[in-house]
């Protein structure tokens, strides 16, 4: 026998130009990466951009990753880690994003969206537990949603909350189906199909459990607003 060795030559090539090209930095998707790869990737991005964000980092590996990096902060609920400088304080009149979720089980996905937006320097309003089965609970928080520049709505099971909110506000609504549910939810398919077929005009949808993607879609909108308002 000659050798039994893990391959250590194939690391991912980062895309350092993304910030310049698209206005937002690359983020490290930690699922399926080794601790060493995650640490290297975060360190490299933090060097280039001052700070770095990692998503989908499970609690098991978080300790080792956080210990190896300066100024690292891990949030177990949203499974995100930030490294380096704190994000810039948003301007007082910066357009805000409302992150709304239907149930307790949707919190990790909503948290991923919120953490990503905060990392990018945007003000976030977290509005939880306003599902369709108790639609009256939405009233108390409605003004925060109505005045947001963008609203992200996270919902599992039948995924009806984005339709309700999309019918009430005129600003962009980004719907995030979650895999919360069982049986005929088919791991989020029911929520996904519901959102794609919403009778509220102009809803858009991202992949199941993709809180990060919803935040990036909001980031794109906020960037267009900022471009338009710059003198």
Which stretches within 132-210 are classed as H helix?
142-146, 161-166, 189-196
Residue 7 interacts with a second copy (CB under 8 A): yes or no: yes
Residue 18 interacts with a second copy (CB under 8 A): yes or no: yes
Residues 198-227 that bind a second copy (CB under 8 A): 198-210, 212-213, 215-221, 223-225, 227
CA angle 182, 193, 106 (to 5 degrees): 50
The correct pick among 21, 91, 139, 143 for binding a second copy (CB under 8 A) is 21
Start-to-end CA span in the chain (Å): 69
Map residues 34-63 to x or -, x wherever contact with a second copy holds by CB under 8 A.
Answer: ---x---------------------x--xx
For the CB of residue 203, give the shortest distance to a second copy in the complex, in Å. 7
Helices 211-229 and 107-119 sit at what angle, rounded to 10 degrees? 30
Residues 76-105 that bind a second copy (CB under 8 A): 76-78, 95, 102-105
Residues 216 and 168: their CA atoms lie apart, in Å, by: 23
| Contact of 178 with 199, CB cutoff 8 Å | no
Q: Rounded to the nearest 5°, which phi and psi values hold at 4? A: -125, 105
Which of residues 31 and 47 has its CB atom nearest to a second copy in the complex?
A: 31
The correct pick among 52, 53, 100, 191 for binding a second copy (CB under 8 A) is 191
The correct pick among 46, 69, 98, 124 for binding a second copy (CB under 8 A) is 69
The correct pick among 84, 98, 174, 211 for binding a second copy (CB under 8 A) is 174
For the CB of residue 122, give the shortest distance to a second copy in the complex, in Å. 13
For the CB of residue 123, give the shortest distance to a second copy in the complex, in Å. 14
Residue 12 interacts with a second copy (CB under 8 A): yes or no: yes
Residues 30 and 25: their CA atoms lie apart, in Å, by: 16
Q: Which residue has the tokens 């069982």?
A: 182
CA angle 25, 177, 181 (to 5 degrees): 135
For the CB of residue 8, give the shortest distance to a second copy in the complex, in Å. 9
Point out which residues pair with 72 in neighbouring strands: 83
Residues 103-162 that bind a second copy (CB under 8 A): 103-105, 107, 111, 128-129, 131-135, 137, 149-150, 157-160
DSSP class of residue 32? T
């Amino acid at each position: 026998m000659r050798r039994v060795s893990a391959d250590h030559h194939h690391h991912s090539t980062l895309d350092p130009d993304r910030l310049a090209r698209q206005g937002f930095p690359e983020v490290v998707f930690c699922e399926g990466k080794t601790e060493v790869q995650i640490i290297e990737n975060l360190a490299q991005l933090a060097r280039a951009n001052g700070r770095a964000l990692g998503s989908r980092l499970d609690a098991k590996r978080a300790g080792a990753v956080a210990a190896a990096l300066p100024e690292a902060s891990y949030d177990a609920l949203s499974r995100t880690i930030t490294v380096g400088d704190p994000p810039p304080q948003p301007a007082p009149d910066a357009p805000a994003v409302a992150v709304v979720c239907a149930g307790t089980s949707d919190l990790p996905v909503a948290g991923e969206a919120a953490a990503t937006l905060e990392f990018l320097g945007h003000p976030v309003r977290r509005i939880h537990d306003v599902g369709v089965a108790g639609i009256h609970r939405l009233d108390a928080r409605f003004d925060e949603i109505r005045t947001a520049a963008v609203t992200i709505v996270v919902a599992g099971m039948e995924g009806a909350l984005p339709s309700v909110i999309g019918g009430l506000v005129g600003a962009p609504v980004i719907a995030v189906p979650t895999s919360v549910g069982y049986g005929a939810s088919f791991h989020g398919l029911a929520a996904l199909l519901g959102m794609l077929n919403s009778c509220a005009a102009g809803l858009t949808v991202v992949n199941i459990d993709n809180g990060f993607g919803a935040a990036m879609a909001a980031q794109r909108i906020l960037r267009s607003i900022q471009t338009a308002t710059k003198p």
